[in-house]
Structure 1
Amino acid sequence: MRRPFADVERGALRLLLSGEKSSAGRPMPDGAQPGPGGWNRFELVFDDLASEVERLRAKGLKFRNDIVRGPGGAQILLEDPSGNLIELFQPAAQH
């Protein structure tokens, strides 16, 4: 069985690998599709993603999509001034 996602850690470094069936394989609202290599990006983790997105939007920052929710948590893609993607992520609550 092919998994849509892999998580590898070594010390303080964490590498997340997302396949075509993961949220990273979804098209953007404008129809853009990930190409070879997908949409590589850094991920920043937040406790309150919605508040952070609201704060950054108020400062005029540009997002590629709206918040997407899944079993692992919620995420949104922020574009830096050069067009590079930065994922803002809030993990799902653990029970």
Structure 2
Amino acid sequence: MTAPEQLAGVRYLVDDVAAAVDFYTTHLGFALSTNAAPAFADVVRGPLRLLLSGPASSGARATPPGLTAGRNRIHLIVDDLDAEIGRLRSAGLSSFSSDVVAGPGGRQILLTDPAGNLIELFQPAPAPATTASAGP
């Protein structure tokens, strides 16, 4: 596991910390690090520490007036997007908020957690084949 000082932290505000922990650990391969539910928990996947802040946590304080929430999302790379979508649907998840979109960099779909936070599942495009150059 990555040392805590090497983790990138992202905070998601959630209405139900236990439901969020269950979602991320059961379906997306995160491991529980700290559980102070119902106020707070954090889960880890590789170098990402996802802080799940419930209504009673200090991290859930209101943002200053005039600011609105962004369209931020965590970006999880998968090897086979179609297989991942099938696995999640077989597990009963139907919270996809987009269709599969393809571009030059790869394919993606958006999923929402129980609180409506976005997760982008992304399959990179195959690397272009390179040709070996002839020697001198």
TM-score class normalised by the smaller sequence: 0.5 to 0.7
Counterpart in 1 of 2:85? 53
Counterpart in 2 of 1:39? 71
Percent identical pairs in the alignment equals 57
- CA distance in structure 2 between the aligned counterparts of 1:70 and 1:76, rounded to whole angstroms: 12
**1:78 is matched by which residue type in structure 2?**
L
Cα deviation code 1:1-39 (max 9, x no counterpart): xxxxxxxxxx886xxxxxxxxxxxxxxxxxxxxxx7752
Distance 1:69 1:12, change over 3 A: farther
Q: Which structure: larger Rg? A: 2
Structure 2 unaligned blocks of 5 or more: 1-5, 9-67, 129-136
Deviates more, 1:53-62 or 1:71-80: 53-62
**1:50 is matched by which residue type in structure 2?**
D
- CA distance in structure 1 between the aligned counterparts of 2:107 and 2:77, rounded to whole angstroms: 10
Aligned residue pairs total 63
Matches within 5 A, 1:1-95: 38-61=70-93, 62-95=95-128
Give me the CA root mean square deviation. Answer: 1.9
